């Protein structure tokens, strides 16, 4: 129940294309869903986050779609660029930082 499932494990997209990464959770106590971006040799960095009171949040080329009833959320990267090539982690947390759980990650490669 504490797991966050993430797919695909790896993703290859052409420059300018749309990258889509999906996550699912079981614990209904989760109420904060961030996405992190990690480059090799660096720590993860927060990209965008959503609370379950909204179904979508957009920041620049990055959009989170949230489906509370299905307990699923996804990251969409529009106009993907080679600089977006990194590993992306979804995460979930409840109760102000308790039970903070990360997905296994998706390695994104954007081809020039």
Partner 1 sequence: EAGVVQSPRYKIIEKKQPVAFWCNPISGHNTLYWYRQNLGQGPELLIRYENEEAVDDSQLPKDRFSAERLKGVDSTLKIQPAELGDSAVYLCASSLTSGAYYNEQFFGPGTRLTVL
Query: Of the candidates 13, 35, 44, 85, which one interacts with partner 1 according to CB under 8 A?
Result: 44
Query: Of the candidates 49, 57, 61, 81, which one interacts with partner 1 according to CB under 8 A?
Result: 49
Binding-residue pattern over the window 60 to 89 for partner 1, x denoting contact by CB under 8 A: -----------------------------x
Report helix, strand and coil shares of the chain as percent, to nearest 5. 5, 60, 40
Residue in this structure with the two tokens 């109420």, named with its chain if needed: 31
Residue (2 or 28) nearer to partner 1, CB: 2
Number of residues located near partner 1, criterion CB under 8 A: 23
Residue 109 tokens, joined: 């490669």
Q: How far is the CB of 100 from partner 1 (least distance, A)?
A: 5
Q: Name the one range near partner 1 by CB under 8 A: 13-21, 63-71, 76-84, 96-104.
A: 96-104
Taking the alpha carbons at both ends of the chain, their separation in whole angstroms is 39
What are 72's strand-pairing partners? 24, 67
Alpha carbons 110 and 99: distance in angstroms, whole number: 32
């Amino acid at each position: 129940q504490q797991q966050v499932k993430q797919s695909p494990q790896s993703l290859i997209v052409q420059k300018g294309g749309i990258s889509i990464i999906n996550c699912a959770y079981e614990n209904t106590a989760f109420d904060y869903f961030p996405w992190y971006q990690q480059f090799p040799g660096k720590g993860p960095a927060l990209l965008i986050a959503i609370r379950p009171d909204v179904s979508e949040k957009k920041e620049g080329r990055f959009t989170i779609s949230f489906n509370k009833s299905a307990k699923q959320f996804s990251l969409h990267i529009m106009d993907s660029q080679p600089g977006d090539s990194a590993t992306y982690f979804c995460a979930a947390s409840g109760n102000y930082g308790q039970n903070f759980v990360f997905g296994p990650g998706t390695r994104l490669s954007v081809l020039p």
